[in-house]
Structure 1
Amino acid sequence: MHALKKKSGLRDKATKNSSLASKIEQFRRDQQPAAEYHDENPLLKLLKVTKKDKMQAKTNSFNERLAQKATFNLSGGVLKSALRRRKRKEKEQLKPKMDDLLSSLPASTVNVVDASSWKKMEFVKATSAKPSNMPNPQKHSGHTKLLEAENQHFSRVLQDRLFQQSPFAALKQAIALKKQ
């Protein structure tokens, strides 16, 4: 007993396609829009826009943005450095000239100082309150050095005769010396 094989040869397919019923069915399928396709699973949605279309749209939008931001030399051949120099000169022209100010002041208020007298003048140098080579207390090594120095100072203070006699008077004197 052999099972009957289903014939699916080319002749059978051709006769099926030629039949009137199949042509009507195909016509109906062609007339229906693709949007009416409904899948059993609503989470599986067919892509309406293909990947190629998306990539093309991204490329077009990027090119448009690039064209808007174009930093090409559109200023008629004038370089950026030349524009900067021109702006700097315009700013300098807006500033008041010292010679004009000197000529407009009354003669009684004008004191012309010679350049040689400036060289003779001495300026007071500010003394720095903190020596520059002190260890940094924020770092570990500097913190340990400061602790060692503080311990040595503390032991010296405890051995001092003045501190042993009257500690408050010794503190007062040390504070007064630091202020000077």
Structure 2
Amino acid sequence: MAKRTNLRSKIAAKSQSNVNKSSIPTESVLTPDPKAFLHEYKETKKDKLLEKKNDFLNRLRKSNDESNISKSSLRRRKRKQRDALLPKMQDLLTTLEDEVQNNDENLNNEKTIADDDKIKAPKTHKSINIVDSKKYVDHQDKGFLKNLPSSRTKKGSKIIEIQEKKQFGEVLKNSQFKQSPFDALKNAIQNRIKNEL
């Protein structure tokens, strides 16, 4: 029976300690809003879009370095820069037109000076050496080319060079070239531009 009293005494002691613990006042801190933790924070569409935009802009800033650019786009950029340096036929044509106008004005001025003063004005034209066109045309026509040759390949650049020599020889043969070289060059370039378009 001793066990019985032991068990009863243990239970009584435990209940006494629980009463003592519950009688001690504990401070409980409550938030001012009792519903504060009921709803979790949700990211709005506006916030998501703003975050996506910022991520994208950061990636763009990082990718501006040349190390992150693909090889093909680098080659493309270099090719565009190279092509921009090449002389354009249209630019040459406009330059020649200006030169022809300047020469015509100079000739008119010289004639008026010579007529007014009865003095011969010195020649301002430089003599143009006409070279034998056979020297420049050393290629036989292989016929009509279906596609334009590429200036980037060795074979294509040779074909272009041969075509240019042939056209230059034709300009030199032209009797108009002997009379006024700038007009002849201007007309040749205009015809070439029309053919290209």
Q: The TM-score by the shorter chain falls in which range?
A: under 0.3
Under a length normalisation based on structure 2, what TM-score does the superposition of the two structures give?
Answer: 0.22
Give the helix-richer structure, 1 or 2: 2
Under a length normalisation based on structure 1, what TM-score does the superposition of the two structures give?
Answer: 0.24
* Higher relative contact order structure (alpha carbons within 8 Å, sequence separation ≥ 6): 2
